[in-house]
Structure 1
Amino acid sequence: MNPNMNSIELSFEFFPPKTPEAVDKLRATRDQLMPLKPKFVSVTFGAGGSTQQGTLDTVVEMAKSGLEAAPHLSCIGSSKDDLRAILNEYRSHGIRHIVALRGDLPSGMGAVGELRYASELVSFIRAEFGNTFHIEVAAYPECHPQSRSPRHDLENFARKVKAGADSAITQYFFNADAYFHFVDDARKLGVDVPIVPGIMPITNYSQLMRFSEMCGAEVPRWVARRLEGFGDDRDAIRAFGLDVVTALCERLVAAGVPGLHFYTLNGSAATKSICERLGL
């Protein structure tokens, strides 16, 4: 086994369930992944904070089960008073970990909010709450889809860290070199916080391509063609996806990454299988 495996910290991302059946599924997923002893779990929200109550409910339940839970918090569409109230509520529930994001406006919503960028949100949290919260920010090894250039995107990332972020989680990727180059470039700008690679298990071809188009993640042509060639053979897609993502994780771990953050999509099977193959 790679000796680096012993020091790898795992974390998992969930989204707030919207139906009683989805609540039950997420609880089962949580219970199946807990033996992997994640450092924390993060919980997303909808555009403009549209699932804010669901995020709070999910985070509180995760915390009660013994997990460190980190809600995603967006500044887009929220006033400083809104943000202050949300953060105070999280604090009252013992939540001490935040994923601070710019976020996206839902369609038809015109108000951006008082804070326009994640760096401003990080500065606001530090000014209002000091070191109460551990703050995660997002990083984009293949460049944020709305950024003017890779350099501009890298400078934005450095700005978030210098505003007070403690660590970062990347958008998912399948090209390890993109991550390595991004980290090297960030270090040259003085960024010294852990940059944890985000990992997306491959279980569904059309879903993967749709997500990747939206977030600007590149699916290598050979991977996309192989997945496309499997057609409706879900077992073949999952088996191939397991091979591809496990190999990616092995390369990352061998290079000494600080952790692996899995985008679970509220399912446990693929994430659990990858971690078992890695010997975690």
Structure 2
Amino acid sequence: MGHTSSLLRLMLVGGLQEAHPGMITYESGATEEAYKKDLAYLKEKVARFKGCNVSLQVDAGGEVIITQLFYDTDIFLKFVSDCHEIGIKCLIVPGIMPIQSYKGFLHMTGLCKTKVPAEIKAALEPIKDNEEAVHAYEIHS
């Protein structure tokens, strides 16, 4: 049962129709083909539940998408547009992660494979060893 949609199907069929868990998605795919496949899978997970006839064709019932963290708003806006284009109409909440420390920032963006715009890298590099300056950058950016 390894997929989120399988868990959602069980929750909804089991009488928890009021459960509206958020969905987590990636900001972009490795290739255009993989990205489109991920969007189609996401659409399956977020489409409204259509009765109790559980099969592979039943939509899972998520109503909110929470994206992974991102620092490039163009990627987020493209993702939202692409979701709307294929009929995903639920709320899409941008995943944010304040920059608490340079080391933590590098760890999380590396772990999530987050694209970091050059201007953010350039701003953080000279202050990476100054925790107060990193916090000030975070607050004012």
Normalising by structure 2, we get a TM-score of 0.81
- Using the TM superposition, give the Cα deviation of residue 173 of structure 1 relative to its aligned residue in structure 2, in angstroms: 0.5
Residues in 2 aligned to 1:172 and 1:142: alpha-carbon distance in whole angstroms: 11
Q: Aligned ranges for residues 130-209 of structure 1 at < 5 Å?
A: 130-143=16-29, 149-162=34-47, 163-209=60-106
Q: What residue identity is the alignment partner of 2:132?
A: D
- Using the TM superposition, give the Cα deviation of residue 153 of structure 1 relative to its aligned residue in structure 2, in angstroms: 1.7
Corresponding residue for residue 10 of structure 2: 124
Asked whether the 8 Å contact 2:21–2:64 carries over to 1, the reply is yes
**Could you list the per-position Cα deviations for residues 55-88 of structure 1 after superposition, in whole angstroms to 9, with x for gaps in the alignment?**
xxxxxxxxxxxxxxxxxxxxxxxxxxxxxxxxxx
Q: What residue identity is the alignment partner of 1:169?
A: I
- Using the TM superposition, give the Cα deviation of residue 241 of structure 1 relative to its aligned residue in structure 2, in angstroms: 1.7
Normalising by structure 1, we get a TM-score of 0.43
**Could you list the per-position Cα deviations for residues 20-79 of structure 1 after superposition, in whole angstroms to 9, with x for gaps in the alignment?**
xxxxxxxxxxxxxxxxxxxxxxxxxxxxxxxxxxxxxxxxxxxxxxxxxxxxxxxxxxxx
- Using the TM superposition, give the Cα deviation of residue 243 of structure 1 relative to its aligned residue in structure 2, in angstroms: 2.2
Matched pairs, number = 128
Q: What residue identity is the alignment partner of 2:92?
A: I
Structure with more of its chain in strand, by fraction:
1
Residues in 1 aligned to 2:112 and 2:7: alpha-carbon distance in whole angstroms: 21
**Could you list the per-position Cα deviations for residues 237-266 of structure 1 after superposition, in whole angstroms to 9, with x for gaps in the alignment?**
11112222xxxxxxxxxxxxxxxxxxxxxx
Corresponding residue for residue 227 of structure 1: 124
Q: Aligned ranges for residues 245-256 of structure 1 at < 5 Å?
A: none
Does the residue aligned with 2:21 lie in a helix, a strand or coil?
strand
- Using the TM superposition, give the Cα deviation of residue 139 of structure 1 relative to its aligned residue in structure 2, in angstroms: 2.3
Residues in 2 aligned to 1:206 and 1:153: alpha-carbon distance in whole angstroms: 30
Does the residue aligned with 2:36 lie in a helix, a strand or coil?
helix
Asked whether the 8 Å contact 1:141–1:173 carries over to 2, the reply is yes
Q: Aligned ranges for residues 1-280 of structure 1 at < 5 Å?
A: 115-143=1-29, 149-162=34-47, 163-244=60-141
Asked whether the 8 Å contact 1:209–1:219 carries over to 2, the reply is no
Q: What residue identity is the alignment partner of 2:35?
A: P
Does the residue aligned with 1:157 lie in a helix, a strand or coil?
helix
- Using the TM superposition, give the Cα deviation of residue 152 of structure 1 relative to its aligned residue in structure 2, in angstroms: 1.7
Q: What residue identity is the alignment partner of 1:205?
A: Y
